[in-house]
Amino acid sequence: MTDDVSRLPVALRDGQGRLRVDKRALLKIAAPLMVTNAIQALLNLTDTWFIGRLSTDAVAAMGAIYWLMSCAILILGGVGLATQSFVSQADGAGRRARASQCLWNTLWASIAALPLFLIAAWAGGPILALFNLEPGIRGMAEEYWEPRLAGAFLGAMSWGLVSFFNGIGATKLTFIVAVVTTLANVPANQFFMFELEMGMAGAAWGTNLAQFIGLVVGIMFLLRGDLARRYKTLATWRPRLSMIRRQLAVGLPVGIMYGADVLGVAIMQLMVTQVGKVGAAATQIVIMLTSIAYMPALGLAAAGTTVVGQAIGAGDREWAMRLGTFVARSCSALMLSVALLLLVIGPWLMPLFINPADINATAVVSTALILLLPAACYQMFDGLYFGSSFALRAAGDTSVPAGVAIVLSWVIFVPLSHVLIFDSSGAWVDGLPQLGLGALGGWLALMSYAMLLGTLMYWRWRSGRWQQINIWGSRGANVGS
């Protein structure tokens, strides 16, 4: 470990000369991101509230497709998920122009992916036709799917932009972009959904418009002032195909990993939706509420990506190990605390997300309260997953974690969900035992999966295998190559 503490992120020597994590410095980076992700949770809850004003069927439709859409966006926007890793390592090595060049590569790659997003938007109908959804719910789901996927490239560009801000530690700019996006989302939803009477499609267009406004604000920060001068953002805009390929090599497995994760949850929700719209609506509400637990932890984990990447860029992987471990454990403790809080305040929050005049309102709320119990049980393991996987991403260790996530999701989680949710009359696959627990069965399967995933990701980080990885190319190459 280097003796030059000034080169290491969030490092501090105590009175005995021992190197410690400077918690205040880490919090200075993480706090805006934690608030930003809490705002993102508020954005999701706002969308759920607006959609809940339509009907229970509308909430169930959103629940049926929410994670399917998320999976498509994560995979197609995978290059943006590598941006923070490259930027933080370049910044830690003092190569600021190289950091901004990584961002521009992400923006160009996201624009180039637009045809793929349009194909995904068109494919919504054929994909949903594969599942036995009620015609009304399927129709509403398609109304939202098509415009939302068509505009999702804006979200991929935004990921890249805020990942650049996060990678250089300018997390206050990320916070401002999130605030602008959230504030724009409310009037946009009201206008498209109710003033223009576009319903579910209006919710999608409202989100697209809000993301576009946030993206414009972020680009203004990028091209003006001290940040533009220090990182030479006006001089590094030309794409470099070799670097784009490197970023894809790191980012695409991240997109696949999170895609496998959320696609498993999407399939579980589709199973629950087939069983009944009450369980589907309750599941969607609990997912949105538990996002309160994981969004702040995601902010802390993102700060971990920054400081771990900067430590690697500075040439001190031992310090990177200490930082990643500290962040993973802190994320776990944070999510456990919020989960306990949700158990206490859940009975007061649940009724806010369903129309009280709806005939199923009481059943949805009571079911959601039951589902909140297994959801709370796995939050601390989700914290380990977020903290460890974000640290692994900073090091470029993404392929093995992606493989682990795929196996756990599709070999354990999805089959277990099928066994626990369906009875013999509604099963998709014959020959499996069917316990018929409905929505509760889906959440018990999710709880088991999350516990395994969090444990294995933390073990992967602690194994130290990531220390042999160089994201900048061939063995021996450095950030400047």
Confidence band (pLDDT; 50, 70, 90) for 477? very low
User: Does residue 476 surpass a pLDDT of 60?
Assistant: no
User: Does residue 312 surpass a pLDDT of 50?
Assistant: yes
Per-residue pLDDT of 327-351, as tens digits, reads 999 999 998 998 888 888 878 877 7
Residue 333: predicted pLDDT: 93
Confidence band (pLDDT; 50, 70, 90) for 273? confident
Question: Percentage of the chain with pLDDT > 70?
Answer: 93
Lowest mean pLDDT among 75-89, 219-233, 422-436: 422-436
Q: For the residues 424-453, what does the mean pLDDT come to? A: 85
User: Does residue 291 surpass a pLDDT of 80?
Assistant: no
Average pLDDT, the chain: 85
Residue 266: predicted pLDDT: 78
Residue 234: predicted pLDDT: 92
Q: For the residues 8-22, what does the mean pLDDT come to? A: 79
Q: For the residues 355-370, what does the mean pLDDT come to? A: 78
What is the 3 state secondary structure string of the chain?
A: CCCCHHHCCCEEECCCCCEEECHHHHHHHHHHHHHHHHHHHHHHHHHHHHHHCCCHHHHHHHHHHHHHHHHHHHHHCHHHHHHHHHHHHHHHCCCHHHHHHHHHHHHHHHHHCHHHHHHHHHCHHHHHCCCCCCHHHHHHHHHHHHHHHHCHHHHHHHHHHHHHHHHCCCHHHHHHHHHHHHHHHHHHHHHHHHHCCCHHHHHHHHHHHHHHHHHHHHHHHHHCHHHHHHHCCCCCCCCCHHHHHHHHHHHHHHHHHHHHHHHHHHHHHHHHHHHCHHHHHHHHHHHHHHHHHHHHHHHHHHHHHHHHHHHHHCCCHHHHHHHHHHHHHHHHHHHHHHHHHHHHHHHHHHHHHCCCCCCCHHHHHHHHHHHHHHHHHCHHHHHHHHHHHHHHHHHCCCHHHHHHHHHHHHHHHHHHHHHHHCCCCCCCCCCCCCCCCCHHHHHHHHHHHHHHHHHHHHHHHHHCHHHHCCCCCCCCCCCCC
Confidence band (pLDDT; 50, 70, 90) for 463? very high
